[in-house]
Amino acid sequence: MERDRSGPIRARRALHSFRAATAPLGCVARATQLRVLEPDRERSPASGLYHAHIGVHRGTQRPLSVWLLRPSLTPTPVDANQFVDDVLRASAFRHPNIERAVDVGEHEAGMYVAWLRAPSVLSDAPYYRAPLQRATIPALISGAAAGLAAAHRELLVHGCLAPTDICARNGAASVLGIGVWRFRHRALRRVFTADAAASIAPEVLSHGVASPAADVFSVAAIAAHLVFRLDIAQPVTALRSYLATHHPKLRVMFAALADEPQRRPSTPVEIAAELAENWPRWA
């Protein structure tokens, strides 16, 4: 992978082909086809886990979102190899509501992972064509929940789900980053900022423990932000207080924001179903 401004990035492995999604995973890239163009301010998370860049595939000219990870997340060659293996494993799982990584490798200061670029549900930048239409919120939350639930059945979790990780492609939602942070949550918790903490489960922030229950928490926090136009950076106690006061019938969403993982719903699909049932009141 080549960076215009910061020198070469050496490809470590290539994932599935742009031309044939059935290409074998884990093959060594003979010559990388990725090119990083410029920082992507719309995608870079407040957490600081990575720096997002806009990239392009040389052959197909398809736009990419390239994550340049913080070096502290993969401090040793063993960590780097584990990260590559995690991305390969996650990308082998196919689901219409899950974004698969198209490349993973090594740059001069750490690791990178690249995805086909798609609009974030929270973006209204010109690149993403149009702002989020309120009427699409239930379908987007439903799609993201379906993707996460399917991943959980395959023992894949996200653990650090942020609003920018939910994409809208052709009217359907898909989730970025599932399986990528496996075994890295203990390191991740040291870099989260207050702005990023609101959609991340307390047990991930305090102990680095990620599970399907952590993803359930994140879906509820993001859904509350989208539906009620709440500040995503406010603490979870404020979200729970708002729901209890103004929307007491949303019992599933309220339970999903519990501090204790065992008190949350077993699947994010329950949150989406409750939202769809009550949506006519707010539409």
Instruction: Give me the CATH number covering residue 30.
Output: 3.30.200.20
Q: Would you state the pLDDT for residue 262? A: 95
Q: Let me know whether 18 and 102 are in one domain.
A: yes
Find the mean pLDDT for residues 176-199. 66
Q: Let me know whether 211 and 250 are in one domain.
A: yes
State how far the Cα of 222 lies from the Cα of 227, in Å rounded to an integer.
Answer: 9
| Domain C-terminal end among 66, 96, 116 | 116
Q: pLDDT tens digit string along 69-83? A: 877 777 778 888 888
Q: Let me know whether 94 and 136 are in one domain.
A: no
Query: How many domains would you assign to the chain?
Result: 2
Which residue would you say has higher pLDDT here, 270 or 31? Answer: 270
Please, which pLDDT band fits residue 214 given cuts at 50, 70 and 90?
Answer: very high
In a domain, 151, yes or no: yes
Q: Would you state the pLDDT for residue 32? A: 57
Q: Let me know whether 131 and 266 are in one domain.
A: yes
3-state secondary structure at position 91: helix
In a domain, 121, yes or no: no
Q: Let me know whether 73 and 162 are in one domain.
A: no
Q: Is the pLDDT of residue 147 over 90?
A: yes
Q: Let me know whether 64 and 154 are in one domain.
A: no
Q: pLDDT tens digit string along 79-111? A: 888 888 888 888 889 999 998 888 888 876 678
Contacts of 82 (CB under 8 A, 6+ apart): 74, 183
Whole-number mean pLDDT of the chain? 76
Q: Would you state the pLDDT for residue 75? A: 72
| Domain C-terminal end among 86, 116, 146 | 116
Tokens 């939602």 belong to residue: 173
Q: Is the pLDDT of residue 219 over 70?
A: yes
Q: Let me know whether 28 and 147 are in one domain.
A: no
* Window from 53-67, 89-103, 236-250 with minimum mean pLDDT: 53-67
Instruction: Give me the CATH number covering residue 217.
Output: 1.10.510.10
Q: Let me know whether 108 and 130 are in one domain.
A: no
Q: Let me know whether 53 and 158 are in one domain.
A: no
Q: Choose from 27-31, 203-207, 245-249 the range with maximum mean pLDDT.
A: 245-249
Q: What is the rounded (10 degree) CA torsion for 52, 219, 237, 205?
A: -50
Q: Would you state the pLDDT for residue 253? A: 96
Cα–Cα nearest to 189, from 203, 199, 176, 177: 203
Residue 203's domain spans which residues? 126-281
Q: Would you state the pLDDT for residue 89? A: 87
Q: What is the CA radius of gyration of the chain?
A: 18
